[in-house]
């Protein structure tokens, strides 16, 4: 890699645990559907080039990660190994602008998450905060 890698001064996010009630209420199917819809929004975004050609396959991989984050089984680890998300994304130059596009795309999906995916309303704000902190750690270009 021939570019300087930026590391956020805050370091890796600490204490990013979400309530297991999210998975208990939503279940695997709804989490997968939510990420599928998220990838459909990403597909028309300015950061589309950072994602795989097969967006459906990409959404399944992300959904496996989010199942575990939301209190379900560690599908990502079982299927793909240790998440190490920053390392897996380092090849893509992610700046603050790209991060904001990613967050905006997720926000579009979360607007109706309680109705569409049975996302427990009382946990939506904590999930949004998780996304903010997690995405900040993915930034690797100043």
Dump pLDDT digits (tens) for 9-44.
888 888 777 999 999 999 999 999 999 999 999 999
CATH architecture of 21-138: Orthogonal Bundle (1.10)
Dump pLDDT digits (tens) for 45-99.
999 999 999 999 999 999 999 999 999 999 999 999 999 999 999 999 999 999 9
Burial tier of 119 (Cβ tally within 10 Å: 0-12, 13-18, 19+): buried
DSSP 5: P
* Angle (nearest 5°) at CA 120 between 114 and 135: 85
């Amino acid at each position: 890699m021939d570019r300087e890698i930026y590391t956020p001064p805050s370091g890796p996010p600490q204490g990013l645990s979400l309530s297991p009630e999210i998975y208990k209420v939503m279940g695997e199917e709804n989490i997968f559907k939510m990420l599928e819809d998220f990838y459909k929004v990403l597909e028309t975004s300015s950061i589309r080039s950072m994602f795989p050609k097969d967006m459906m396959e990409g959404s399944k991989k992300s959904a496996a990660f989010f199942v575990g984050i939301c209190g379900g089984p560690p599908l990502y680890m079982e299927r793909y190994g240790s998440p190490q998300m920053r390392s897996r994304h380092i090849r893509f130059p992610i700046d603050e602008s790209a991060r904001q596009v990613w967050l905006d795309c997720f926000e579009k999906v979360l607007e109706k998450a309680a109705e569409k995916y049975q996302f427990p309303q009382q946990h939506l704000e904590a999930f949004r905060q998780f996304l903010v902190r997690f995405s900040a750690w993915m930034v690797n270009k100043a």
